[in-house]
Every structure is written in structure tokens, then in C-alpha cells.
Amino acid sequence: MKGRYRRKYSRFPRTKLLGKATMKDLQGIFPIALLVGLALWAFSSCSQNEPQQSSIKSATSTARSARTATARKKVLIRTPTPSGGASANMRGRLRVVRERVNVREGPGTEFSIIGTVAQGDRFTIMGKNRAGDWYKLCCLATEQGWIYGPLVEVENGHPVTVAEDAPLAPTPSGPYLTVTKSMNIRDGPGTNYPVVGGASPGQHFPLTGRNAAGDWWQINYNGSQAWAFGQLVSATGVDEVKVAASIPTPPPAPQAPTESPGGVIPGTPGIITRVIDGDTIDVTFNDGTTERIRFFDVNTPETRGGVECFGPQASQFTESFHGQRVGVESRGRDRYNRLLAYIWLPDGRLLNEELTRGGYARYRDYGNPGKYAARVRAAAQQAQRSGAGLWSHC
């Protein structure tokens, strides 16, 4: 049987049998296998492409994040850092408190205007002039300039140093004087005349005349005639300067008060121990008590809660009496419990009256005029007519 079996099937090689069976079977299987193969190829291609697509998404996300970060930086960087590097963070800031204010090339009205700023604008303070009444600011567009101090408010407590690069005033044509020390400019040739303003070292003013003694010079001061003491200036071209044709009549000497039984001046004696502003002081009396005093019949421009025009100058004037012995003639108290008073100086002058005479204060009685209201009001009217102090600056 074995041999017969071998002979019987020897005609059909195993390969042929398998081949026939395979071809027959594959006739139905081939389309399925083809579809499976295509599916496997597609799956393999997708798997290989996924990392690339993920990388593209990651790169796109990174680029978007970078653009967002850059945009945020542009929003945060509002203004360039002023010159001075990190130290600029320690500089003061000022805010404009008047509606429109000129910015000039230098610290004075004789310098050219480079632009204007509006109320509420803020700038970095780069320095001040030696007199302390002009500030150097940064920046109007890209240019630094100078702005008048009483028209701005300093917003923080950083100290402001003198700007050593402050330009000198342009030299006038013809005879002129140059200020050598900080000084008062007065309405006439003498310290008994009202103060109409001030001048800083380096400022120039055209000469228009002199007094007969030759120790006072008449100048063109902001468009008006005023006087400067000769020992505080140097004059150029004086040979052409003649005695002024019109010299103001000296003001009447202040009326000396009647001596009180307790001392040289009326009122309660004390010493000015602190100056709050132009019209408010602290006085310490002989018994050791200290009172806050508001001057009667006057009102000076403010320096607290907003700096008003000529407020710093009024405060500086009152500060010049710091430490002096005075007489306090009280008129009661105000709603803040401050003494309302007239302040008498050792030489017999009434400080309330001197404030209005020099143009540092306006007459203001708030509907309750005091004993010397007429004197204080008359001095204020004279200051207004002559343009003294705030009457020409504000």
C-alpha cells in the first residue's frame, strides 16, 4: 500500500498541489489582503508623520507665545528711561498744575519757548537752577527743557540737585547787568521799596537808568521798570547809562505801633519756631507753649495740596523771619483752632502788611476785617498797581 500510494501521488508534486491550492484560495483572499496591506501602509505613514505635525504645532505655539510676550513688553515700556541709567529711578517727578505752561530752553522768561505742556502732564525732574524756582525736566518730545516752579507740583520726596549745565541767559544788546548773587528786584532804588521779583546768578537784564547815587540800577524786568542793587551785580556799558528820568516816590515809613507795657512791641511776645507756608507759622511763647498761627487779613498762594503761582516765594519770604522775636496780637481762632493774629516785627513793621506790600499775599478778610485791615488792604492795592510779586507773575 505504501508503495502504491507513493506511485499514485508521485505524479502530483507537492509544489503543484500547494500551488494549485494557493492560487485557488488566493483568488478570493487577494482583494482582502490588498486592502489590509493598504491599510497597514496608511497607518505606518500616519505614524511616521505624527511627530512632524506635533513639532509644527509646538513651533507654531512657541512663535505665538513669543509674539504675545513681545506685545506685552511693548505695552509695558511706555516711556524711555531718562539719561542717568538706574539712578533715574531715584529722581523726582513733577506734575503740571496750570492749564497751559511754557517750557523754555533755560531757567528764565528771557529764554526761547520750545513747547507747551498741559495740566496733569508728568515729567522726570533732571535738576533745578540755583535759585530753586525753575526745574529742568525730561522730556518734551526728545528734548529736555525748563519749567517755572510755581506752576508745577513735585510729587515725591526725592531730593532735587542743582543742574550745573543750566544755560546762561542770552546777553542783551547795549548796556546790561549780570546778576552775581541771588537777589530781590524792587520797585524803586532802596530796600524800603516793595519787592517785585527775584533774580538768580548769571541772569542778564538790559540797563535803562540809575539813581543819582549810582548804587542802584534801573532795569527792564519782564517788560516793566524795576531796580537792582549795584553791589549784587556787574554792569557792562555803564558809560551810556544816565540817571533815570522817573524814580518812584519812596513809600511812607511804616507807622510804629504804640509800645505795650510788657515790651517793645504790642501783643504777646514769642519766637517764630516754624514756618508752615506764607501765611501760617508756629510761635513759641515765653511760657513754653507753642501755637499754630494764621495771619489775619491776608491770603498767600498755597504750597500744600497743590502748588499755586508764587506760593514758594511767599513761603520763602515768611521763612526769612524764622527765629525772630515777634509780638502776636490775637483776634480769636478759626475752625481749625489756629490763632488768628497780627504779627509785629521788632522794627515796628506789621508782617501781615509786609506780605501784601511785597506782592506775596492778597488782602482777604473773609467778611471779618480786623483792626489793621485798612493798612493791609492799602498795601495790597499799591502792590497790585506796581505789579509787585504775584501781580506780575500770576
Catalytic hit among 186, 294, 375, 377: 294
What is the C-alpha separation between 323 and 19, in angstroms, rounded? 129
Q: How would you classify the pairing of strands 216-221 and 204-210?
A: antiparallel
Q: Which of 93, 98, 333, 338 is catalytic?
A: 338
- Residues with Cβ within 8 Å of 175's Cβ and at least 6 positions away in sequence, in order, are 206, 207, 235, 236, 237, 238, 240, 241
CA–CA dist 394, 380 (Å, integer): 15
Phi, psi of 166 (to 5 degrees): -60, 125
What is the rounded CA–CA span in Å between residue 257 and residue 276?
A: 26
Which residues are registered as beta bridge partners of 226?
A: 219
* Residue 294 appears among annotated catalytic residues: yes
| Residue entry with cell 515768611 | 318
Beta-bridge partners for 263: 260
Planar angle of CA 92, 98, 102, nearest 5 degrees: 80
User: Which DSSP string corresponds to 63-79?
Assistant: HHHHHHHHHHHHHH--S
DSSP structural state of residue 350: B
338 tagged catalytic: yes
Using alpha carbons, list the distances in angstroms from residue 79 to 74, 126, 138, 160, 180: 10, 15, 11, 21, 39
Report the distance separating Cα 281 and Cα 213, nearest Å: 39
- Give me the catalytic one of 110, 302, 331, 333: 302
- The answer to whether 7 is a known catalytic residue is no
Positions marked catalytic: 294, 302, 338
